[in-house]
Amino acid sequence: MPRVLAGLPLIMPQSPAAALALPLLLLLVVVVVRPPPQTGARPSPGPDYLRRGWLRLLAEGEGCAPCRPEECATPRGCLAGQVHDACGCCWECANLEGQLCDLDPSAHFYGSCGEQLECRLDTGGDLSRGEVPEPLCACRSQRPLCGSDGRTYAQICRLQEAARARPEANLTVAHPGPCESGPQIVSRPYDIWNVTGQDVIFGCEVFAYPMASIEWRKDGLDIQLPGDDPHISVQFRGGPQRFEVTGWLQIQAVRPSDEGTYRCLARNALGQVEAPASLTVLTPDQLNSTGIPQLSSLHLLPEEEAESEEGEDYY
């Protein structure tokens, strides 16, 4: 009766040739039954989710465990308020104005916008330079209002951020519209030095409500510039922000007599404020004595710097 080994009949050898063939047969059976070794294979690196591709993990998500509110961490410093997390269990900080958000309410990748905010596709970028519109949180209202601290806020979202940042102040809305205030200089003129024959420009940006008027004066003169001087001109425009006005004083082909201190004066019915800036004028001989080889980098004004950056290629 033949024996059985591992489910296979074992035939006893009847001759020396059969006895030699038996080990080869067993070796062949073992090779066929055992799986081939995986060259270069590494042991399993832990849980299954660590072995998934990131695209599959992103599509599947990690799932939501049973909700236990008592185990949720308390979010702090949430200037835009709080929203529920993707599982609808714990609270987390909402996204502020200008932060990325999810256009699809059912998605939870960037997060949700806070109180008085909504997710909008920002199309204000320069599409010609390859900028792609992004979904950003934007305030639903753009109307200014006056806070109980006497400060004007551009819209309700800014006031709420300030109120959450300083809860002890009990900040509330005093009334719609800006607070009445005296002028405040937002951007003051810079001190400038230049060489005779060059042009210089002083700038002054002022916030006030009611709107302020701006005038330029030079120390030692009782007249309001430009007066009757043909090489001095003054310009004004509203902005760049609401309830602001900006003024410029330009001096063409400066000469040594233009050297001195110039003042930006802003006033309305509630008060006035001023900001000085000095002009230093050098002759070519004085410039050469300083050892400066060229004039290309002398005190560019912010407007000139912005124009030079816009003219550069991003690529």
Both 198 and 272 in a single domain?
A: yes
Mean pLDDT of 255-281: 95
> Domain for residue 41, yes or no?
no
Both 76 and 112 in a single domain?
A: yes
pLDDT at res. 64: 83
Both 242 and 270 in a single domain?
A: yes
d(CA 117, CA 110): 15
Both 168 and 190 in a single domain?
A: no
Q: Which CATH number covers residue 215? A: 2.60.40.10
Query: Across 29-33, 51-55, 82-86, 299-303, which has the greatest mean pLDDT?
Result: 82-86
Structural domain range at position 117: 72-124+131-140
Both 212 and 227 in a single domain?
A: yes
Note the pLDDT tens digit of each residue in 118-174. Answer: 999 987 766 677 778 899 999 999 999 999 999 889 899 999 999 999 999 999 999
- Rounded to the nearest angstrom, the gap between the alpha carbon of residue 117 and the centroid of all alpha carbons in its chain is 17
Both 189 and 262 in a single domain?
A: yes
Tokens of 150: 């006497």
Cβ 93 vs Cβ 101: under 8 Å: no
Both 155 and 105 in a single domain?
A: no
Q: Per-residue pLDDT for 94 more than 80?
A: yes
pLDDT at res. 39: 45
Q: Angle at Cα 292 formed by Cα 291 and Cα 294, nearest 5°? A: 140
> Domain for residue 299, yes or no?
no
Both 167 and 197 in a single domain?
A: no
d(CA 164, CA 153): 14
Q: Per-residue pLDDT for 200 more than 80?
A: yes
Note the pLDDT tens digit of each residue in 29-79. Answer: 444 444 444 444 444 444 444 444 445 545 555 678 889 999 899 999 999
Both 187 and 276 in a single domain?
A: yes
Both 156 and 248 in a single domain?
A: no
Both 226 and 272 in a single domain?
A: yes
pLDDT at res. 14: 53
Note the pLDDT tens digit of each residue in 164-190. Answer: 999 999 999 999 999 998 999 999 999
Cβ 147 vs Cβ 153: under 8 Å: yes
Q: Say which residue the tokens 């599959």 belong to.
A: 56
> Domain for residue 89, yes or no?
yes
